[in-house]
Amino acid sequence: MNLLRKVLADMKARRHIEAYVVTLVVGSFAVVSVIDDIVPMSLKWAALLSGVGLLVYRLTLPEERDQGAEFLHDRSAFDSVPISVAFANARDVRVFAPSAVNLLSAHTCEILRTSVLSRKGGSVRVIILDPREHEAVQIASRQLDESVRFQVQSLPAALSATVERLEAMREWRVSGSFDYRVFPYNPGFSLVIIDPETTHGRVILEIHGFRNQSTFSRMHLELTHARNERWYTHWVEQFDHLWEAAAVMPSPGAIPGRASADVVEELDQPPRGHVR
């Protein structure tokens, strides 16, 4: 039954047609020859040589890529074409990550400002871990920083830097819409969603896991509506749920008697009794 399904799938996708044709011809000749020797020897040799030739040809072809694995990556997949490049033509960008410090570099933020946010109707929404939730930050730091074999950054410091950058972006005067919110704990994944309501939309899901070799070796899944409708829709909805549950971060400058720099510095401090 599985073989029949595979043959039908190959025929529908027009794969290996030549192999099936030669197999059918050779098989037919073999059956006829058993019943009665009515097939001329020349035709038998022709069928046999065709099969051998096809076999040799198939051996010279490169191994077929696993189509199901095309959406499985790690961060090295963005070395040739950085994810920030995809923002250049986007109108709707949504990000959820504990700190998003690696994604929201100064260069990426500039790309967002000159592309998505420069367009009327353009939208960028970001959710990060709430730096005021000290226990949640401590647990996330243990998972994301201390559990990797080769640590290169600290989550509390990264979160502080991101808050400062997002606060600056919040003050931009642009045609598009920018906003960010904070979530009280780390659910174990990060999301980057680009133009989810369009046919070319993309969802990039990063699984945090445990005991990764490094931050950049974490598993990535890249989903599209055409290829993964069910899970594409699921993760777009996940962001919507996160956004609704997330809190608006008060501007540091809005806290009476506190300067922005003082508040950002305080956010960078670990909980009392915790040593980094």
Distance of CA 188 to the CA centre of its chain: 14
Give the whole-angstrom CA distance, residue 145 versus residue 276. 10
Of 7 and 230, the structure prediction assigns the larger pLDDT to 230
What does pTM read for this prediction?
0.65
* Amino acid code (one letter) for 125: R
What domains, with CATH codes, occur in the chain? 2-60 (no CATH), 69-267 (3.30.870.10)
**Residue 67: pLDDT over 50:** no
- Please determine, for residue 263, whether its predicted confidence score (pLDDT) is greater than 60: no
Q: What is the pLDDT of residue 226?
A: 87
Residue 39 pLDDT greater than 70, yes or no: no
DSSP string, 107-159: HHHHHHHHTGGGSTT-EEEEEEE-TT-HHHHHHHHIIIIITSSS----HHHHH
Which of 37-51, 54-68, 80-94 has the lowest average pLDDT?
54-68
Q: What angle do CA 244, 128, 267 make, to 5 degrees?
A: 125
More confident residue, 241 or 30: 241
pLDDT (0 to 100) of residue 86? 82
Mean pLDDT along residues 18-44:
59
The pLDDT, as a whole number, for residue 276 is: 35
CA-CA distance, 156 to 140, in Å (whole number)?
9
